[in-house]
Structure 1
Amino acid sequence: MKAVIFDFDGTLADTLPVCFLAFETVFKKFDNREVTTEEIIEMFGPSETGIIRKNLKNNNYDEAIELYYEIYQDQHSNIVQNNEEIKTLLEQLKTNGYKLGIVTGKARRSLDISLDCLGLNTFFDVIITGDDVEFQKPNPEGIYKALENLNVSHKEAVFLGDSEADIIAGKEASVTTIGVQWLPNIQTIEFKTQPDEIYSSMKGFLRFLSIL
């Protein structure tokens, strides 16, 4: 194994609550509509801009998108806590020579906000966002792009994610696929598509890689 590729929301950072707040604010202001967490999760797939353009009835999309990012940035430090265990995990992986990547449906703009706020900018050798692909997870396009950029084969990489779409994408890309449930807020409680492994602790994953 040479590379570890991560999903972001719910996998590397507990960012789902700030995503939900930003979407709730947008739909309330522009559609006067209350949306539940479950409804928002059902919209997941496209980037934030894609979700708004696809699901907002009001056609002031650009203004709505700007409000989303305003809320996301302004409330990020209040809602999303720095996770030292995640930083330690990434540091251990780098120390042990692994190439690291992110494949996320998030737009580059929101991912950059999160990476900056959480001090995670320097760890990754490749980042593939929702802006970089034509087809979102569960399509494996993003994982294929990451493998190509990292110059590793599917047999040399592992992909970690918290959602059903992550697991399907990993399976489709023929990489070892890990379901993670180690953060407070995750998208999928029970996977219908079975990952190769499921971990509720980062130490368990490190043992899987024989680092601990």
Structure 2
Amino acid sequence: MAVKALLFDFDGTLLNTNDLIIQTFMHVLNERFPGQYSPKDCLKFIGPSLKQTFNDIAPGEEEALIAKYRAWNIEHHDELVSQYPDVVTTLEQLKAQGIRLAIVSTKRNDTIDRGLSILGATHLFDVRIGTDDVKNVKPDPEPVLLALERLGIDKEDAIMIGDNSHDIEAGHRAGVRAAGVAWAIKGEAYLQQYQPEYMLQHMTDLFDIVKEG
């Protein structure tokens, strides 16, 4: 099996948005449920879609809470995100080797684009799949399968890479191999429970994985 395409989650995988996400949730939840949530509580909200999360927390109020979340998140986005080591240089080298690159995220496309712009990586991705493109988000396989279709790549030639159980499960349900990232905020041990084929200690580990196929 050759590796012809790498599919990446975005938040917490390519761009460190953990502080942004946690602070945004705290802003919204403290207003609606004063004193009931801590930053640690917000870790479980990293991964699922906003609709899923707010539907669980406050059924019937999700649209209003999502609107508040997005407004604060966009306002503070650029100041609260940061880069992981060697992400862009690794992606550039992989693309130069002929590897196709895609984003498969549970974010809206405009927010993905904003993050890619901050990374300086917009030009590196052949395909990006956000919530605007699908009916069912990860862990459903639909976003992964759509990315493969748009890339024109067979599932055995792709790897789905992410920092959350949703990424690994979506990959496996789509029939592709999956990789976790050890820099995930929930930790490497958490990801290992979902039995990814690979665990990246560093972004550059992808060079060996691609070479070995």
Q: Is the 8 A contact 1:27 1:56 kept in 2?
A: no
Deviation at 1:187, TM superposition (A): 3.3
SS in 2 for 1:209: helix
Q: Secondary structure at the match of 1:69?
A: helix
- Report the counterpart of residue 26 of structure 2 in structure 1: 24
Q: Is the contact made by 1:24 and 1:34 (CA closer than 8 Å) also made in structure 2?
A: no
Report the secondary structure of 1:198's partner residue.
strand
Paired position in structure 2 for 1:117:
118
Amino acid in the other structure paired with 2:73: Y
Query: For residues 160 and 59 of structure 2, what CA distance do their matches in structure 1 show?
Result: 35
Residue pair 2:45, 2:53 contacting (<8 A) in 1 also: yes
1:160-203 deviations in whole A, cap 9, x for unaligned? 1111221121112121211111x3x5334322121111111122
Aligned residue runs from structure 1 range 54-69, under 5 A: 54-56=56-58, 59=61, 61-62=63-64, 64-69=65-70
2:105 counterpart residue number: 104
% identical aligned pairs: 31
Q: Does 1:78 align with 2:59?
A: no
* Gapped regions of structure 2 (runs ≥ 5): none
**CA shift in 2, pair 1:52/1:116, >3 Å:** farther
Q: Superposed, which structure 2 residues align to 1:149-160 within 5 Å?
A: 149-160=150-161
Aligned residue in 1 for 2:198: 197
Q: How many angstroms does 1:25 deviate by?
A: 0.3
Gaps of 5+ in 1: none
Q: 1:11 aligns with which of 13, 22, 42?
A: 13
Q: Which amino acid aligns with 1:146?
A: A
Distance 1:119 1:53 in 2: 34
Alpha-carbon spacing, 1:153–1:37, altered in 2? closer, same or farther (3 Å): farther
Q: Shift of residue 81 of structure 1?
A: 2.0
Counterpart Cα distance in 2 of 1:204 and 1:193: 20
TM-score w.r.t. the length of structure 1 is 0.86
Decide whether the 8 Å contact of 1:72 with 1:110 is kept in 2: no
Measured in 1, the distance between the counterparts of 2:187 and 2:129 equals 22
Change (3 A) 1:5 1:33: same
SS of the residue corresponding to residue 177 of structure 1 reads: strand
Alignment partners' CA distance in 2, 1:106 and 1:188: 21
Partner of 2:50: 48
Cα distance, 1:91 vs. partner? 0.4
- Separation of aligned partners in 2, 1:57 and 1:134: 20
Q: For 2:151, give the aligned amino acid.
A: L
Helix, strand or coil at the partner of 2:44: helix
Confirm or deny: 8 A CA contact 1:102 1:126 kept in the other structure: yes
How far apart, in 1, do the equivalents of 2:110 and 2:63 lie?
Answer: 16
Q: Specify whether residues 108 and 51 from structure 1 end up closer, same or farther in structure 2 by C-alpha distance, changes over 3 A only.
A: farther
Pair 1:159–1:60, CA change in 2 (3 A): closer
SS in 2 for 1:20: helix
Partners of 1:18 and 1:34 in 2: CA distance? 19
SS in 2 for 1:159: strand
Shift of 1:100: 0.6
Compared with structure 1, are the counterparts of its residues 174 and 68 closer, same or farther at alpha carbon in structure 2 (3 Å cutoff)? same
SS in structure 1 of the partner of residue 123 of structure 2: coil
